[in-house]
Amino acid sequence: MTKRPEEIALMAESGKLLASVFAYLDTLTLFGMSTMQVNDLVDAFIVHQLEARPASKGQYGYAYALNASRNSVVCHGVPSPDEILQNGDIVNFDITLEKNGFIADSSKTYLVGEVSPSARKLVQVTYEAMWKGIRAVRPGARLGDIGHAIEHHARRSGYSVVRQYCGHGIGREMHEPPQVLHWGRPHTGLALREGMVFTIEPMLNQGRHAVRTEDDGWTVVTEDGKLSAQFEHTVAVTRDGVRVLTLRPEEKQGAR
């Protein structure tokens, strides 16, 4: 379950490359693009510019380089040439990248054009909630501390936390132990140890936390049709705290 320092160094390299994918996404207008266009650009960028592999392609039979989860889609949204990003949308792009045998996983919710204040607030609080969870990571802390920090921040702002999907260990495989719930009680659950690597990826809903999977078998949406947002980082437990392996250029660790 724990990784050696040299393995974490390789994961940090994958994470740095993945952060550059989001820096590339930041340069796109998005408005008027299809989610499939975004997928194809990201696929080509990872393969040709970074000489890496989009790790989601072929995983569990999935055919694309990213998930594109728009508005009421909670997660696992499948890119489509018919899904055009419109002014006022929010859309989460969830991307995994493998380099030298190790995988990094991260996601970011984007605002398309002029977004309503209520949607903007949901996105901001979700980002803050992720960082609340990250700041709870240290040797000796418990997984329940992470979930509690996230849920407390979400509920204080009037949002619910999706319970059916969670963070996960990661390394040579995309999904490894442990499961990292985004809700819970402090001082409960698995104790964190130096060398553990996992994702923290809360999904917050404007309405109830209930979700359902659409007929394609992938796309997960809110049951009540209200908006959902998500952010994700891959983190490593260090001797005295936490290191964010997928930290993006515009971020400073612990600044949020």
- Side-chain-side CA neighbours of residue 202 (13 Å): 32
- Say if residue 232 carries a ligand binding annotation: yes
What are the distances in angstroms from CA 175 to CA 81, 98, 148, 201?
Answer: 28, 13, 22, 13
- Answer yes or no: are the C-beta atoms of 91 and 85 closer than 8 Å: yes
Q: In the sheet that 228-230 helps form, which strands lie side by side, from edge to edge?
A: 160-161, 203-205, 228-230
- Say if residue 48 carries a ligand binding annotation: no
Q: What crossing angle do the helices spanning 117-135 and 143-156 adopt, rounded to 10°?
A: 160
- Say if residue 76 carries a ligand binding annotation: yes
Give the burial class of 152: count Cβ atoms within 10 A of its Cβ; 0-12 exposed, 13-18 middle, 19 or more buried. Answer: middle
Distance between CA atoms of residues 85 and 90, nearest Å: 9
- Say if residue 153 carries a ligand binding annotation: no
The reply to whether omega before 178 is within 30° of 0 (cis) is yes
DSSP H or E run through 251 = none
- Say if residue 187 carries a ligand binding annotation: no
- DSSP labels, 167-206: EEE-SSSSSEEEEE-SS--TT-SPBP-TTBEEEE--EEES
> CA nearest 172: which of 256, 250, 67, 55?
55
The DSSP symbol for 207 reads S
- Say if residue 105 carries a ligand binding annotation: yes
Task: Mark 80-92 as b/e (b = at least 16 C-beta within 10 Å).
Answer: beebebeeebbbb
Q: State the binding site.
A: 76, 94, 105, 168, 175, 201, 232
For the annotated binding site for substrate, the residues are 76, 175
Binding residues for a divalent metal cation: 94, 105, 168, 201, 232
